[in-house]
Amino acid sequence: MPHTIPLRSIIGRRDLALRVLVPGFDDETGIRWSVVSEISDPVPYLLGGELLLTAGVNLATDVDEVDRYVSGLVGAGVAAVGFGVTPVHDRVPTRLVECCRARGMPLVEVPRETPFVAISQAVGAALEEVHLTGLRRLDNAHRALTTAAIGVDAVDTILTTLGQSLGCWGALIGDRLLGHTGSVPPLSEEATRLIGRLRPARGPRSAKLRMPPDELFLHVVGEGPGIRRVLVVGRARPLDPTDRAVLGTAVALLGLLAHPEQADSADIGRLAVRLLLQPVGDVPLLPLLRELTGESGADAFRVVRARWAGRGLPDHPALLHTRLVDVREDDRGLPVVCAVLADRGTRSRNLTLLRELRAAGWLAGLSGPVGIEDLPHADRQASALLIRAEAARRPQLPDEAPDPMGDVLGTDQARSAARALLGPLAEEGESARTLRTTLRVWLANHGGWDRTAAVLGAHRNSVRYRIGRIERDLGVDLADPEQRMRLWFALSRFPSG
C-alpha cells in the first residue's frame, strides 16, 4: 500500500478554506492523491484513496443517477469528494449532498477562491514530506539493526530494535521460542497452524492474519532445507511501506544469524559498508576495514559509487578487489554499487580503475582518499561525482588542481559562504539533503527536467516541485545563470555534500 496522508490534514488547512458538508471520516481516513474528474463515471480510472475534485460539469439531474455515481465512488474506495462551486453551480447540489450522506461518502465544498491545483499542490507537498520522513526513519532503523547484528546477543538486540522501530511485539519461533520483544500474547490456534505451514522448506514464506486487537505479520527467517524459523510481529495498525522495509531488513539479518555458514563475504561486506558510511557509536571497524579491503596496513581509503550503464544483465564488479561492496537497486530498477576500497595511491591508477569499470559497463565516481573517520564525507563526495559522471557520461575523480577560489577564500570561509548561500538547504534533515541532491543533479544537467528525473528516479513533476520549493525557500530565480553559478559554488564547497 502506498503512503497516504490524513484527509483531516488537508481539510483543516485554513488557506484552502474547505467546508465539510458530509463528515464520514476520522483520523484514520487517508488519501493517496487528489484527482480532478468531470466524467460521468470516473471509476475505471481510479485506484482508491483519492480526494476526487469536481465542479459538477456532468453531474446528472436525476437523483438515481447521482446515487449510482456516488455508489461507484464508494465502491472504488474514494476517500472524499471535493465539490467546487461556480462557475457551473453556485452551491453544492442538494441531490449530491443527500446521496453522499446516504452512502457515507465524505463531501467538502471548495470555495471559488480556492483553485483545484492549490489542493493538489497541498496534497503533493504533504505526501512528499511523508515520503522524506519515511526515508529518514528507514535510514535510522537500518543503521540500528545493522549495529545490533554485529553486537553481543544479536538476535535479542535485533528483536528489541525492531519492536522500538515499529511499535510492535515480536517473537522468533523455531522448535521453541528463540527470542522475543514486548509483551507477546498467547497465539491463537489459527496463528499456530499458520506457523506450522510456514516452517517446512516447501511452505510459503510469509503470511498475515487478524488476532484482535492486533494484525499479525509472519515471515520465514533463513534459507535452505529443513525446518525453518518464523518471525511473528503484531500491532494494531497495518504496516506502511517504510514499516515493511524495516521488517524486511530485520528478517534478512536474523536469517544471516540463523545460518552463519551461509553468511558469505558479500553479506558481511554489505553490513560493513553500511556501518562504515553510517557510523554508530564507538564500533571498532578499522581492523574489519583492513581485512575486507585486503590491505592490512592501509590507512587511506576511497569510496566508489557506480551505476550500471551497460547492456544486458550486470556483472558483479569483482575488479574492485574489495569485499566491502553493497549493491542495491535504484528507483529505476538499475543496480547501484557502493564500495569502500584501499587507496591505490596515484591518480593514474585510480583513473585506470574507473576506465576498467566503464569498460565493464559501470559508470562511476571515485572519492578522494580519507581516513576511516571521514568515510561518510567520502561517500557524499562519491555520490556527487556519480551525478557529474551521469551528466557528463564519463567517470569522475575529484579535481586535484588548486582551487582558485580557495586562494581567495580559506576553507573555513568558503564553507561559511556555502552555508550562507544554501540557507535552509544547509540543514542536516532528510528534506534538506534531498533538496541539495535534486539541485545538484538539476544543475549538473543544465536544468533538464527529464534528464534530472531519470537520474534521480523521480517523476519530473516531483523535480519541478522541489526546484520550485528551492526557489521559494532561497528567494532566487534559477533561470538566472548567476544564481545557478552561486549555488553550484555553494554545493561544491558544502562540507556534507
Does residue 424 share a domain with residue 448? Answer: yes
Q: HSE-up of 59 (CA within 13 Å, CB side)?
A: 22
Is the model's pLDDT at 221 over the cut of 60? Answer: yes
In a domain, 272, yes or no: no
In a domain, 309, yes or no: yes
Does residue 174 share a domain with residue 56? Answer: no
Does residue 219 share a domain with residue 185? Answer: yes
Q: Which domain holds residue 154?
A: 133-263
pLDDT tens column, 134-190: 888 887 887 788 778 766 788 899 999 999 999 999 999 988 899 999 999 999 999
Residue, of 139 and 245, whose pLDDT is higher:
245
Buried b / exposed e over 468-484, threshold 16 CB at 10 Å, is ebbeeebebebeeeebb
Contact 155, 262 (CB under 8 A): no
Residue, of 98 and 445, whose pLDDT is higher:
98
Contact 46, 72 (CB under 8 A): no
d(CA 278, CA 427) in angstroms, rounded, equals 18
The alpha carbons of the chain give a radius of gyration, in whole angstroms, of 27
Distance between first and last Cα of the chain: 33
Closest CA to 109 of 232, 48, 22: 22
> What is the arithmetic mean of pLDDT over 395-410?
67
Here the cell at position 158 is 535485533
Does residue 164 share a domain with residue 217? Answer: yes
Does residue 240 share a domain with residue 303? Answer: no
- Which of 86, 114, 142 is the endpoint of a domain? 114
In a domain, 327, yes or no: yes
CATH number of the domain to which 320 belongs: 3.30.70
What is the residue whose three cell numbers read 545557478? 484
Does residue 292 share a domain with residue 237? Answer: no
- Which of 392, 417, 447 is the endpoint of a domain? 392
**364 sits in which H/E element:** strand 362-366
Does residue 350 share a domain with residue 422? Answer: no
In a domain, 289, yes or no: yes
Amino acid at 322: T
Closest CA to 306 of 322, 293, 286: 322
Cis-peptide into 317, omega within 30 deg? no
In a domain, 269, yes or no: no
Residues 6 or more apart in contact with residue 351 via CB below 8 angstroms: 397
Closest CA to 387 of 279, 492, 470: 492
Q: What are phi and psi of 415, to 5 degrees?
A: -65, -35
In a domain, 350, yes or no: yes
Does residue 409 share a domain with residue 319? Answer: no
CATH number of the domain to which 206 belongs: 3.30.450.40
Does residue 248 share a domain with residue 150? Answer: yes
In a domain, 365, yes or no: yes
In a domain, 193, yes or no: yes
Here the cell at position 266 is 558479500
Secondary structure of residue 304 in the 3-state scheme: strand
CATH number of the domain to which 437 belongs: 1.10.10.2840
- Which of 369, 392, 415 is the endpoint of a domain? 392
pLDDT tens column, 358-394: 988 899 999 988 887 778 878 888 888 888 888 888 8
The number of folded domains in the chain is 4
Chain mean pLDDT for the chain? 84
User: DSSP per residue over 431-449, as a string?
Assistant: HHHHHHHHHHHHHHTTT-H
CATH number of the domain to which 10 belongs: 3.40.1390.20
Does residue 409 share a domain with residue 387? Answer: no
Does residue 320 share a domain with residue 388? Answer: yes
Is the model's pLDDT at 271 over the cut of 90? Answer: no
> What is the arithmetic mean of pLDDT over 28-53?
94
Does residue 350 share a domain with residue 239? Answer: no
User: What angle do the packed helices 460-474 and 449-456 form, to 10 degrees?
Assistant: 100
Q: What percent of the chain has pLDDT over 70?
A: 85
